[in-house]
Structure 1
Amino acid sequence: MKALIKCIRLPLLIFTLLFVSCSDDDNGTTPPPETTTTIVDAAQATAELSSLVSALQKADESANNNLVSALSGEGPFTVFAPTNAAFSDLLTQLDGFDSLDDFNSEQLQDLLAIILTYHVISGTAATSSDLSNGQTLTTLQGATLTVSTEGGVFIGDATDTPAQVTTADVTTSNGVVHIIDKVLLPQTILDALSDILLVPITDLAIGNENLENLVAALIAADGDLPNALRGNGPFTVLAPTDEAFETFLDGASLDDVPVEVLTQILLNHVIEGAIYSTDLTGLGSGYTSTLARGAQDANMSIFFDTSDGVTFNGVSSVVIPDVKALNGVVHVVDAVIDLPNIVDHAVANPNLTSLVAALTDGGNTTFTDLLSNEEEEFTVFAPVNDAFAAFTNPNSNDLNAILSNHVVVGASAFSSGLTNSYVNTAAEFDTDENLSLYINTDDGVTLNGVSNVAIADIVATNGVIHAVDAVIDLPTVVTFAVADPNFSTLVQALTELTPSVDFVSVLSAQGGAGDDPFTVFAPTNDAFAALASIPAEGDLIPILQHHVVAGANVRSGDLTDGIMATTLEGDDITINLPGTGDNIADVTDGSGNTGIGIDAVDVQAINGVIHVLDGVLVPDTMN
């Protein structure tokens, strides 16, 4: 990159001649202060000016320059001295320059000398009281600086950003030094370094004739956006070409796009941090977040794929990568990236093609219509391709029903807010009874005990996607008993403690293949722990049967005070509403034990419903 610098040759001894003080200098002449410390001495003694000293020494490596000696001469001089931080900022602006050591040729050292002499006024030791608002100062190399005293003392150069005097009036034997927070740059240097001088992202876009529509969009959108993209960053900006904007607008104008929508679309092209194409290629594919806001005001997700170039959300490809800016990097792209909804994200990810195919099989639009609805929010647990490949549909359930069981309607559930709990999916037991889904967060996020979240929190405009590693089949009452750790003792009782009865097969029946549907009153681990001991198999079997009502899906809304139901064991249980204390309802078992509480209701399976008990029901042992 340094080879792009235009050749600037300085006449031999030019700087020696420039340092000769003239009595008729336009800047006036002020006698040097009474001290033996020179400007160079003062710089060497000041820690925050060590980079300035190094710069003077580096410039003097060229035979054309003798700056250290000249600034140690009689003067008088006024020197605006940039701090170490100012030189660090300058190096940041120069593409390919990491330190002053990179000024390693005579040509570069002469350029550095021009920069340094732009900070020197010869023939005067101008203190801050000598500086006035609007005053112009002629520098050693003939260019001018402009003084502003509004809100402080500022020195303007050929750029748009002035330097501020942070420490004024450091007096020396041959002049006065004012410490400033920026390296001043003359127009000659801006011209010479135009190929490698980095500018903020907004200015880079303004200077690119193929990004005029992007600039117009930035101006038409939130008025703070252009200034924001001049900020510190760093940012990664995906910059659509003019043609990309024309395609996106399709004959409309920017004025036809609501400001708030246009603002979010533009923010959907901005990523925090400087991400280069090599970074993306190293990752292969995946998600990052843009500054646009999606569901629950979370940062919008964007999918990148480098299998064939670099693409974003499956719709926009990078045509010019890695255009460096002062505050980040720009990738020019061939399409505007619209705000993605749930369907857009699914379509964009090649690892969700099996899901998309299942959702749209036979021209089905039920799911695409539902999940494109911007008036509703969704949580979608999206099985990856390998999950579909491994799924055998052992119960021959309807695929549309299975897919519905991966969708939660009416909420955007982010991983940070998930707890061990039940939610309802779009799948149904009957026309108005949505199936439950058990979420366990003890070790990652597991759904119904069979499917794990592999990629969480893919944010869309209308919800959030969690990619999962297994298809979530329609749950039976057994599914929930096994999945919920609160029922581990119940599962043990139904299986290893009662081997003579295949409770799992009985309670897995669905579609009228057995005694289903079932209403199960499920005791928790604490309920079993309250027993003196768990009975032996002969007594345990009727106890377990006494918790199941066959042939009915009795939900909480179906319960009335005093309602009785006959269990598989043969005895009735009685339910009273409302319950005592914290109980939703109270149950009286076949033995007449009262006050057994229903603590949770309506865990809905495809073959029945579960209500959670805080005690174990005991049948009448005398009948």
Structure 2
Amino acid sequence: MKRKHTYLTITKAVALSLLFIFSNGCSKNDDSAPSVPELDGESLRDIISVVASLPEIEDFSAALANDPSLTEVIQNTKSQTVFAPSDRAWTNLFDRLEAFGGLQDFDTENEKRLLSEILRYHVVTAAQKESEALTDGSILKTVLSDTLKVAVSEAIYLADESNELGKLTDLDILASNGILHIVDKVMIPERVAEALFPQETLASLIETSEDLSGFNDALIKAGLRDRFNTEGPYTVFAPSNRAIEQLFETLGEGYENFDDFDNFLEVQLLEKLLLYHVVGTEYSLNNIPNGDLPTLLEGNALATARVDGKTVIVDASDTNANFVAVDRKAANGSLHIVDKILIPQELVDLVRNPSDTNRGTIGELMTKKPEFSLLQKALELTGLENLLRQDGTYTLFAPENNVLTALFPFLGEAISNLEDIDTESEIALLRKILMYHILPQSLPAAEFSTTAHATLSEADSLQLLGKPNGYVVIDATGLETMISTTDIKADNGYVHLVDRLLLPLSVVQEIGNGTQQQILNLMSDMDLELREALTITTLLGSHLKDIWEKEFTLFLPSNEAVSFLLENMDGNSGLRDFRTGDEVLLLAEILKYHCLVGQRKTVASLSREQSLTMKQGGRLGVSVEAFVSLIDETGQTSKIVKGDINVGRGTIHIVDRVLLPVDLL
């Protein structure tokens, strides 16, 4: 069964006999170890020399030669076992590694460390193990401290930490300080395997599985794919393509693929359905516990059961799910394929009582959706919730919670949440803004047109524009607002989701004052591109209301300067991408850093200054060379390109760069 390898010109039997004779020739009381006998002028060589002399393990020899630290360990160990991968084993490894064609490609410090760990994984210094001592199931601790497992059947095998087997092909090659066996596979410790063979994520594994293309489409439609690309570990019970097909057959006409889930409620239900297929702990089939398995759909659990000797998955429906494929391993979890869509109790209840869950008036829908909780409270505060609960026909362009927070910076520095809106004038202003989001008609997306649409906010109308990727709304700011989700049907109309707060002209004018209007009028007569800066000044005028009646100096960035800043901020392509309260507050702080309160500075008087303290609290430096420049707290220089523009009690200077205080970075 086991082929012995003859290294010396003498046989192993002769060598052992001579060693026996030599040892018996010594006194019993002689504690000194016997020296290696010389035979015909030769003695057993050490392992490093033996490795270097064998043509079938030249790659292993070369790798050792480039690892002096391990070589020293082997040379200084008196009794050890080395498992040397054959050259063919190395070739097989490189065939699996796209970035490595040979040992020479382990050329970075990290790669050299990985190669050194591989080599150490083949050396056992605790004992010299001849083939007879390699028994089935025995564990060998390597120099790396990781272990190899021995498996014996018709041959002797080693199993690495990934349970991949390597067969010992040449056994019991003797050396003076141990024994050598040749193995037909390079054994890889687990942490090295993770570096050399990075596993696919669950999202990638699903995407590349032909039998899960429908499930992959569902994840994309529900916006969940990225979650399974980064988070985990999870156990995913993925329905097969045939199970997905059966879903569409059940849904009937109008549902051919997941693109037909085209309104907010359908997408939300799809998301819940998919989350019910995922458990927040990783399980292989053999270690899935009996009983309930809490899923990512809060309050809804799966369960396992044994039926006819097989494990099945039990959902809230009357049909169990069988496993089609199991234990597909990913970097962030395990994937099992099942033969049906798993149905949570929430969806069972929905099917039985659809009117109780989804429908209702617009006002009632707002109370059922946590993403509209802030809007619901605002509607209640202004008395509009009762209106939207009544019979009639309405269309609500609804901003979700994070979008509606942009309302607070617009209303002034003293307002940071809905509770701060407590005076009649503030509530009236809020009511006017919300009424601008409501049309007195039922308008589904199919009936959108580019005409002006009257709102409940008196003379303020909304303008819809068609774009290649859908419709946008243009409000009094001139900024485009995307309609992100359409046609949430209610008993008294429709709800469409918008990704920015909509501001009517009457509110923009109310937030501003006479001086601001003078600024707008004056700038519109100039041959300068200032739209972005003027929009910011107009929208956030409430943050400057205390300066207009005093002397002031305003450094207004050109349109090009503002656009350059916004486009170079992460996640922003322009002013319209500042949607949330925190983002709008950031703009307000930047704007205040451009305002000098109580002083009216001409270009000439600026040239006599060294620094200025701005309304935001930060300081600006002044530099005078061929022209007057400002130096902000980040060290960036901004040139005054047009100065001494008198407005009201103040002076405006146009600058070619947005000024930034250091505490905002």
**TM above 0.5, one fold?**
no
The TM-score normalised by the length of structure 2 is 0.30
- Structure (1/2) with the larger helix percentage: 2
